[in-house]
Amino acid sequence: MTDTLHIDDLGTVLGVWAHPDDEAYLSAALMAAARDLGHRVVVATATGGEAGGDGDVRLRELTESLAAVGVSEHHHLGFEDGLCGAVQAEVGMVAVLRLLRQVRPDTVLTFGPDGMTGHPDHVAVGGWVDRAWHVNGHRGRLLHATLTESFHRRWGPLSAATGLWMPGAAPPSVPDDTVALRVSVAGANADRKFAALRAHASQTDALRTRVGDGTFRQWWGAETFLQVAPVEGLAA
Ligand SMILES: [Zn+2]
């Protein structure tokens, strides 16, 4: 199942993430490429990221970051940063379900059960989206952001040294030939992804300065996704 999907297959894209900056790290190049092809791209963030800095600053950064990749549709789900894991799963699910019914995406992007970095907000939000997708009758394809074995071979030590993963968390690592979609971040797309990440200055400046711009760009130089198969019997 190598790269079975291409950007022009994606149709309307809805990314559902936990914090401002998740969407940039995991899907900025995808969003830029999809917008270039004229697809509608909508981003939802469960929280304003207020635990990681001033909430107004973070939302302003998010708006600027999305603009760098041509996205103007954003939904803020209004949950509290750091507390998504404490939200009743049904409440989170219903918020996402409402969004699915409103946006009617052909493709939904979110975290896998690993939560990428193991952040409890990421794990919770990914779970809400999965459940909402099931309840909505598996409409549209659901893609989970993931990392590949080749990513870890190259970037595992740097990722660990910079504290990317939550303590005790196991980041996703899948064989490269199992990803359904790989967006390579090159050329103009790379510049736009870098601009999207830089716009989240309160979150990315320290890390970018620490490793240097060149390394920072290459580190986030691919976006990979697994396609989720519908699980019958889970739909309400
Ligand atoms: Zn996050």
**Ligand 1 centre from 231 Cα, in Å?**
26
pLDDT for position 55 = 83
pLDDT per residue of the chain (236 residues) written in tens, 0 to 9: 455 899 999 999 999 999 999 999 999 999 999 999 999 999 999 999 999 888 899 999 999 999 999 999 999 999 999 999 999 999 999 999 999 999 999 999 999 999 999 999 999 999 999 999 999 999 999 999 999 999 999 999 999 999 999 999 989 999 999 999 999 898 889 999 999 999 999 999 999 999 999 999 999 999 999 999 987 655 44
Token representation of residue 25: 């790290």
For 9-226, the fitting CATH number among 3.40.50.1100, 3.30.420.40, 3.40.50.10320, 1.10.3720.10 is: 3.40.50.10320
pLDDT for position 17 = 98
**Ligand 1 centre from 122 Cα, in Å?**
6
pLDDT for position 4 = 85
- Stretch (H or E) spanning 56: helix 55-68
pTM surpassing 0.85?
Answer: yes
**What protein residues have CB closer than 5 angstroms to ion ligand 1?**
18-19, 22
Residues with Cβ within 8 Å of residue 138, at least 6 apart in sequence: 230, 235
**Ligand 1 centre from 36 Cα, in Å?**
26
pLDDT for position 14 = 98
Distance CA 21, CA 204 (A): 8
**Ligand 1 centre from 21 Cα, in Å?**
7
**Ligand 1 centre from 22 Cα, in Å?**
5
**Ligand 1 centre from 233 Cα, in Å?**
30
Token representation of residue 60: 């302003």
Token representation of residue 115: 């939560």
Distance CA 88, CA 197 (A): 31
DSSP 8-state secondary structure symbol assigned to residue 197 = H
**Ligand 1 centre from 121 Cα, in Å?**
7
pLDDT for position 207 = 95
Token representation of residue 84: 């998504």
Return the percent helix, strand and coil in the chain, to nearest 5.
50, 20, 35
**Ligand 1 centre from 186 Cα, in Å?**
24
